[in-house]
Amino acid sequence: MPILGRAALIIALAVCAYGIFAAIYGAVTGRRAFIESARRSVYALAIATTVAFVVLELAFLRSDFSFAVVSGHSSTTTPWYYKASAMWSSQEGSLLLWVWLLSIWSSLVIFLTRNRLRDVVPWATAVLLGYGAFFAALLVFKVSPFETLSPAPTEGAGLNPLLRHPAMMIHPPMLYSGYTLFAVPFAFAIGALITKRVDAEWIRSTRRFALGAWLLLGIGILLGARWSYNELGWGGYWAWDAVENASLMPWLTGTAFIHSIMIQEKRGMLKVWNVSLVLATGILCVLGTFLVRSGILDSIHAFGASTLGVPFVTLIAGMSLGSIALVVWRRGILRSEHKLDSLLSREAIFLLNNLVLVALCFVVFWGTFFPLISEAITGEETAVGPPWFSRYTVPLALLLVLLSGIGPLIAWRRATPRNLRKTFAFPAGCGLVALVAMLFIPGVPQKPLAMIMFALGAFVIGTIAQELWRGTSARRAMTGEAAPLAVVSLVRRNRRRYGGYFVHLGIVFMFVGVAASSAFQHAEDRRLQVGQSTTVNGYDVKYVRSTATFQSDPSKTGAMLTLGAVLDVSKDGKHIATLTPGRGYYSSSNANDGLFEQLINGEPTSEVALKTGPMRDFWTAVAPDFTKLQPLVDAIDKGLGQNENMTQDGLLRGYVAGLTAFTEAYKQSPPPAMFRIISSPMVMWIWIGALIAIGGGLIALWPAPDAARRRATANLKARVAQDLSRA
Amino acid sequence: MAMDPARKRRLRLTVALTAALVLAGGLVYTSFSAGSPARNPSELLKSAQAGQSYKVVGIVVKDSVKHDGDALLFKVRDRDGTAETAIPIRYTGSVPDPFREGREVRVNVSRASGETTFVGEKDSLITKCPSKFIAEDGSKPAGTY
């Protein structure tokens, strides 16, 4: 089987090389046959990478440890659904996932544009196949997923326990879908620049891909945040870690892009800006993949040891220089068809929103790369932490929310003070009422930034409500539909606009959730004995009893042993919740330790327990400390190691007996445990807002029935006209 | 009085560019002043200034992890160093799941004058991202295949 996978990748590389040649040759000479052939190369790439993907995925599902990556990242004790996702926890598997998704999305766009943009498509095809060639070459020459082990080990290392979480199964495919989907508008922008077709046609043809990329990348980022909150034992959802920032940067420029293309479509302006944004987004997507996979930011010295460093840096440098050269070369035809008429216009607000998003991206970029920058300048590696990021991102986020409330209210081209007064009265009133109300909530006025965010949130919600109200009333006046039906048909007829409003609504909820939970969070680390209590933010938390189970695997992650606690949470004597945080233990394979020691000091991961609610999350995690039980562990290991000739069966029995003794001891006389207890308001609104935003994104993405109908009517009209002219 | 449109645009551009420059300047200035310099444990042992915050990267020394009330006590040594050149750290705050003896960690620390133990900044302890436990060059940290 490995040979089949390897062959598929070599074919993929060959297909890319041929396709690039055919596309460019066809484009230059105008020979359609070559262009057709290049298009079929994209489909062939999809087939070849699908074969490689399936071969590797099957190897994971069958636990075929003759594959080196399978033995390194999976095991027979890993539950089957985590076996499936273990593939992309490996370097090799994740790069294969990248190129596979790229080939799928490329095939889709090449198929959809088969009768359109005849001069742009060949160049776009060449660019997409160029990506394919790069990743296929890495997989063939540098990090082959089909390395074999002989003899095959009988057991593998298992999926890293921290990654055993539903969100982590689909987080990488979502993120990579976002990255690879952004390759589509990137490629078409290059094609449009080369062929001087810089009107809005390439944007129209790839708009849905950009929107899809934005949506899936956003979902990927959110799943990462959710995983961090629910799986990692620290209780946060964002830490300005380089790995998180890497995915946020292209999302920010992508967000700017899907806003600013509207101005090009409507007014023929901002052409340089739009191509620059999409080129930057494409480059940041590759940079994001590179940052996460190469570990360069851990230390600049890791760069030399990295197998991916040089190829990726070459690619990124090539993409950047090529993009800049193309834009400079074509600056003459990228002139705007119109000038900005007034700063009081929707164009100006969109432009401002773009500047804020790009500034945000720049802040994140600077902070992420600061260790490298400072080392290059001062010779001393220095890093900036979350407070530094917040200092810039918080005010920029506030400005962004304000602009998202203003944008929909203001007219294209030029707004008059009179209609501004009319449209702003209600939303501004909402914001003011919220601001005044906040002043009376104890504790809130001490956090002015959070308070401003709440008020701005109310302003944006007011804007959206007013827009929906106006649209619906107009529609009801026109058609006499009932209100709910009028809302539905209003949204259906203007999916892009109202989908966008729902996205704004969702983002506002998320920002409010983020502001509330970061400004008013109480996090404490406490060491408790059974029977002891502690108070966190007015909540009494009592460690009622310890729990210990083995082989029952309550969290379905394949943990051998789970130790936990039962916590009783009450406020003013009233019972609020019973929480049972736990910690799952997975064997490591450190040959220096005894068998039982390997489990106890192996890979524990928190199983967080939380009581979630619209107003407040109460979050707990436990880390047992069994220094006191160490003699028991040593005794068990001594028993297991005593008889060299012990049969496999006997060893297993001894192990189970040891586990039984250990769990009993932990239940009977538990040592004190460390608890992390967090009381955090309104976290739920981040997830609710995310769902609303995703829904809005889907509405905007869905093909409008009107467009299909219009095309059909246009065809009919043409035919009738033809018939008439014949008659 | 109406301004000539070309001049108005130039003015706008100047204002926008100035704003961008101010932001960029602020960014550069604050990042250099707010960042904590990175040091190895052995360097800190020799020459740590009292009160200055450092970001230390090192390996948790075997058998050094202890609990004291809500605090965690441990020592970190250089990547290729020994326990003799390790520094003791007293830390409070969240402890990531992969934290373990023998693992690489980063933490922001500072030391009061006259003290030997460094105090870890609350919640600043991080370990490597789990998707990257296996080093690039194929060498694998203890505890994994």
| Model pLDDT for residues A297-308, shown as the tens digit of each residue | 665 555 555 678
Report the distance separating Cα A48 and Cα A18, nearest Å.
Answer: 14
Is the pLDDT assigned to residue B94 strictly greater than 90?
Answer: no
CA angle, A359 as apex, A357 and A360 as ends, to 5°?
65
Backbone angle region of A645, left / alpha / beta, with phi > 0 → left and psi within -120 to 50 → alpha? alpha
Is the pLDDT assigned to residue A641 strictly greater than 80?
Answer: no
- B128/A contact by beta carbon, under 8 A: yes
What local confidence, expressed as pLDDT, does residue B3 receive?
62
Give the number of beta-carbon pairs within 8 Å between A and B: 135
Q: What is the identity of the amino acid at A304? A: G
Q: Which of A50-64, A193-207, A423-437, A708-722 has the lowest mean pLDDT?
A: A708-722
- A385/B contact by beta carbon, under 8 A: yes
- A344/B contact by beta carbon, under 8 A: no
- Residue A163: which of B27, B108, B131 has the nearest Cβ? B131
Contact B37 A380 (CB under 8 A): yes
Q: Which of A331-335, A427-431, A625-629, B140-144 has the lowest mean pLDDT?
A: B140-144
What local confidence, expressed as pLDDT, does residue B144 receive?
30
DSSP A398-439: HHHHHHHHHGGGS-SS---HHHHHHHHHHHHHHHHHHHHHHH
Q: Where do we find the tokens 């197998």? A: A307
Contacts of A606 in chain B (CB under 8 A): 97
> What is the largest distance, in Å, between two alpha-carbon atoms of chain A?
103
Evaluated on CA atoms A647, A653, A658, A663, the torsion sign reads: positive
A31-45, A625-639, B32-46 — most confident range: A31-45
Contacts of B12 in chain A (CB under 8 A): 343
Contact A302 B136 (CB under 8 A): yes
Q: Chain-wide mean pLDDT for chain A?
A: 89
Pick A511 or A594 by higher pLDDT.
Answer: A511
Could you tell me which residues come within 8 angstroms of residue A648 by beta carbon, excluding any fewer than 6 positions away?
A: none
Pairing status of strand B118-120 against strand B87-91: parallel
Q: Residue-wise over A525-540: b if at least 16 C-beta within 10 A, else e? A: bbbbebeeebebbebb
Side-chain-side CA neighbours of residue A417 (13 Å) = 0
Contacts of B145 in chain A (CB under 8 A): 71-72, 156-157, 589
What local confidence, expressed as pLDDT, does residue A414 receive?
81
Report the distance separating Cα A691 and Cα A707, nearest Å.
Answer: 27
- Residue A234: which of B36, B96, B108 has the nearest Cβ? B96
Cβ–Cβ < 8 Å for B94, A525 = yes
pTM for this entry: 0.90
Pick A727 or A565 by higher pLDDT.
Answer: A565
Report the distance separating Cα A499 and Cα A696, nearest Å.
Answer: 4
What local confidence, expressed as pLDDT, does residue A718 receive?
66
Contacts of B60 in chain A (CB under 8 A): none
